[in-house]
């Protein structure tokens, strides 16, 4: 029951902040939409006319996942840095629920609150380009959820680094481009990336939304890789966060900025 109240409270907090700082929320939405328009214009101007439709669909899926990855992976790091600056980080650690549970619930809340924005961006992109993708919920939901678990693991790793280092803004800026590379590079071009974070999940989502494949048409290797990546990176994320939390407590880094 404590998990339910914790997640519910954080979801309400995220929604209230998005509404209270509505100009910032709108600016964020407009910024990412303009980024997509720039990508779309590039395809139209310098792209191969014979493959424009496929390339446009490719960009739509990748760009939506890139936005979601930035939120899930990077947002928790910014939140911890903000808590440290305000001097409230130690209070989170004193909670009977434990800091990692609070951070994990914030991840869930952030995903839940931003899913509506993701859906809006997706439909705006499809309406702008006239390219309507296949939406097979039976296939997309499990693939999407496992990919989210993958992202959460990365988010917890970033959160652990922030606990110890406090300021990782420069690294998070670099991370934006790393995530873009993982999301935009086709797995067919670099098969060795199959076990890298996000890559397999995004590849299967593209196969579903662009090529119209169903979950029954995925190979056993596809399913195994997706499950393995989700479990592996999530476990690594929790273990790394707990380790960084112990380091921060031992060095007294929670009470001071």
Mean pLDDT over 49-64 rounds to 79
Count, residues in the chain: 257
Look at residue 257 and tell me if it is in a domain: no
Look at residue 255 and tell me if it is in a domain: no
Q: What's the pLDDT tens digit per position in 172-202? A: 788 888 888 888 888 888 888 889 988 899 9
Between 231 and 162, residue with greater pLDDT: 231
What lies within 8 Å, CB to CB, of 185 at 6+ separation is 193, 199
Look at residue 23 and tell me if it is in a domain: yes
Residue 65 CB-density burial (10 A; 0-12 exposed, 13-18 middle, 19+ buried): buried
Q: What's the pLDDT tens digit per position in 144-179? A: 899 989 988 888 888 888 888 877 777 878 888 888
Which residue segment(s) compose the domain that 11 sits in?
2-250
Alpha carbons 252 and 164: distance in angstroms, whole number: 10
Look at residue 202 and tell me if it is in a domain: yes
Alpha carbons 93 and 10: distance in angstroms, whole number: 16
**Type and span of the H or E element at 64:** helix 52-69
- pLDDT beyond 90 at 228: yes
Count of domains forming the chain: 1
Could you tell me the CA-to-CA distances from 65 to 19, 45, 134, 147, 184 in Å, in that order?
23, 24, 16, 10, 9
Look at residue 8 and tell me if it is in a domain: yes
Alpha carbons 217 and 136: distance in angstroms, whole number: 13
Look at residue 222 and tell me if it is in a domain: yes
Look at residue 256 and tell me if it is in a domain: no
Tell me the pTM.
0.85
Alpha carbons 232 and 238: distance in angstroms, whole number: 10
Residue 31 CB-density burial (10 A; 0-12 exposed, 13-18 middle, 19+ buried): exposed
- 210 band by pLDDT with thresholds 50, 70 and 90: confident
Look at residue 115 and tell me if it is in a domain: yes
Alpha carbons 8 and 34: distance in angstroms, whole number: 32
Query: Beta-carbon neighbour count of residue 217 at 10 Å?
Result: 12
Percentage, residues of the chain above pLDDT 90: 13
**Mean pLDDT computed over every residue of the chain:** 83
């Amino acid at each position: 029951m404590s998990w339910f109240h914790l997640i519910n409270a954080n979801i309400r907090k995220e929604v209230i902040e998005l509404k209270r700082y509505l100009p910032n929320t709108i600016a964020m939405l407009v910024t990412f939409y303009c980024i997509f328009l720039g990508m779309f214009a590039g395809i139209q101007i310098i792209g191969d006319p014979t493959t424009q439709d496929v390339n446009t669909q490719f960009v739509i899926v990748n760009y939506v996942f890139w936005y979601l990855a930035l939120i899930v992976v990077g947002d928790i790091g910014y939140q911890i840095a903000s808590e440290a600056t305000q001097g409230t980080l130690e209070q989170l650690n004193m909670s009977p629920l434990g800091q990692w549970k609070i951070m994990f619930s914030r991840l869930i809340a952030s995903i839940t609150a931003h899913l509506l924005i993701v859906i809006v961006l997706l439909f705006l992109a499809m309406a702008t380009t006239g390219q309507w993708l296949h939406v097979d919920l039976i296939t997309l939901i499990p693939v999407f959820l496992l990919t989210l678990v993958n992202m959460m693991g990365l988010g917890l790793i970033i959160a652990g680094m922030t606990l110890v280092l406090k300021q990782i803004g420069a690294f998070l800026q670099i991370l934006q481009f790393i995530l873009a590379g993982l999301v935009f590079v086709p797995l067919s071009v670099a098969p060795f990336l199959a076990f890298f974070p996000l890559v397999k999940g995004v590849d299967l989502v593209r196969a579903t939304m662009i090529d119209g494949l169903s979950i029954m048409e995925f190979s056993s290797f596809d399913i195994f890789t997706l499950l393995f990546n989700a479990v592996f990176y999530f476990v690594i994320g929790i273990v790394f966060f707990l380790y960084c939390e112990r380091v921060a407590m031992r060095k007294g880094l929670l009470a001071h900025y």
